[in-house]
Structure 1
Amino acid sequence: MTDTNAQTSGPTAAPPVLVLNAGSSSLKFQVVVPETGEKRAGGTIERIGESGSDVADHAAALKRMTDDLRADGVDLDSVPLRAVGHRVVHGGPDFSEPVVIDDAVLERVRELSALAPLHNPAAVTGIEAAREHFDVPHVAVFDTAFFSSLPPEASTYAVPRDLARKHAIRRYGFHGTSHQWVSRAAADLLGRPVGELRQVVLHLGNGCSASAVRGGVAVDTSMGLTPLQGLVMGTRSGDVDPGLHAYLGREAGLSLDEIDTLLNKKSGVLGLSGVNDFRELEKRLADGDTEARLAFDVVVHRLKHYVGAYLAVLGGIDVLVFTAGIGENSIALRAAVTEGLEGLGIAIDRARNGARSRQARVISPDGSPVVVAVVPTNEELAIARQTAELVG
């Protein structure tokens, strides 16, 4: 299935960047002009390689994408693309900045699949197909890059050091492109230099993560070696006792792969309530569903836990930012997370919080010690701008 949502307009001042996010059975794409932020077109192709689908692989998906874009007035065969920017989830210990993709880079991304088996193989497949299809520079932008700045005390797990070195075990963090974009956009919203702000950023979507950002530099984050650690998410458990794996193996007879699937795909809000769409959870909550209530309360409890922890890590905060699909749209969740935190300087204005808007905005009262803001994320534009900067 394709959803192009083209937004064509007049001539642009600079060539666009094609941003690709390849999943195992999907391809998300946008054609973006980095300088202006203009989205010329975008969409998603789904069910790639699945039974009954007419899109056999990612090469076929790229052809479908170009055909659909052409039908909507964006002909990638005639538009002078500047480059293709690829979202890559895991850069491991090797990549702390965007990088132009050559054969060696691609092979290293492939080798890092052990750290992100659900994500990196799909990225490699998408990159290979795109390099065949588009004869322009290709750039990898890594979810983990923003968190390469974590200090050793935040990135190190208390496991035998030789084992950690051999297998590259550390906290890497994810959603870094979003956290970096949002922390800078929040500073712009307030008209203050990002270098003077202490921020806690809550990226809340189907996947959720929190970060502590001091002076525009990440100093802590909730996700770890994999995207499973941290907050309660749509289908991921977030933090659990590490002994749970051994316990489930002994008592429930589950294999490691079964436990991994359980915690990544069958837990979180879905496991607690039976639904993983937060909008549906809130509907059930309004209807008095007790399982929905518990799921909502568990999500809020974990969020407050991280907000408090990062306030301590930063020695106080200037800005608390909500972003991504749930963070930008759930009035109830923002209210619940900030409730009772007035003693820490964190409060929201009820009317401001309840106002619907797609714009970055402050929702705390005037003069509040901590500014609470809602800042839409734009990972595609961030990737496009980092790609354009790298290729000149």
Structure 2
Amino acid sequence: MQLFECESCGSVIYFDNTYCNRCGYRLGFLPDRLELSALEMAGDALYSSGEPIPGGLWRVAGEPDGPLYRQCRHYAVDAVCNWMVRHDDPEGYCRACRLNRTIPDLSVPGNARLWERMETEKRRLVYSLLRLGLPVVSKQTDSAGVAFDFLADPNPDFHEGGGVVTGHANGVITLNIAEADPSVRESMREAMAEPYRTILGHFRHESAHYYWDRLIRGTRWHEYFRNRFGDERIAYDEALRRHYENGPPSDWQDHFVSAYASSHPWEDWAETWAHYLHIVDALDTAAAYGMDVAPSVGEAARLGPQGGQSHFDAYATDDPDALVAHWLPLAAALNSLNRSMGHAHVYPFVLTPEAISKLGFVHRVIQDFRTGNRSAGERELLHTHRV
């Protein structure tokens, strides 16, 4: 995640901020620019229906002739968002909030807070997807788009079973808002013997299933996927049943990024995709703070730390080896720092060569879509064994 600068006073501002703590300017994230900006009021306005626009119109501080924006309705009315909408956009919601199909009943005590936490992490997912140049379209306007259902379980005790299940089906991602309760989530993590369980991790994992349908199914990448991850046509429900009854294979660490990834090729893809997003965003954050931990191979070794500032752009690189070369020493340092504070590892995973090659596959599929390069990534697949 980048750091941003307040246009009014030059202070550092952060992705989730709504006000600059130094000068008090209102802040808003501009999806068309991928920037968090200080805003100045540009007057009241009406929708074409004659309804007043909540919060009025805004423009970026210091840009008197710049484009006009209005607050997302979930910003102006519900205070659970900080994204803006171009004033001429007919949608009332920002690019992140318009993906919602269902939100929880906010009249139920506690639901508003849980939903707010969900929205905070969802915006981080959407930001990453936009940075990667991936399609982020609402299913309500495009049948090939994505939608989110945030549902509250009538029986929030996960151990009873039979309630809302987090998952993906036909472009709809469902999340149980109880996952936004840290005590419930930790209980589930322990019950399922997971080393890591976060809201953002859920978003990243479930988004992978959606993008498998968009980027892999029926494309020229499909056969490459089967060669690397396995044949997804094996019975999914039966594979999951075996996994939960018998556990992962004894040698899963040699082949998969997590135990759950061993359950089915679709889950292997989803876990690998989620880890790819973990790595890219963490490296982007490290670069924003000028952090780079002595990488030792590849492009990373050539660049290295430069005067305390890292110039490596994890979102822009076309070299998956450089990603890993930067990530492994940083992950080791983060884990050691966390342990020195008495906490568990930040990244409690081991990336084996096979897991790394799968990360490389994800990287090339994304780069292929983003750049429209229909030759380089495939040529490398055909003539090397790296992916």
Q: For the superposition of Structure 1 and Structure 2, which TM-score range results when normalised by the shorter chain?
A: under 0.3
Q: Which has the higher strand share?
A: 1
Structure 2 length-normalised TM: 0.26
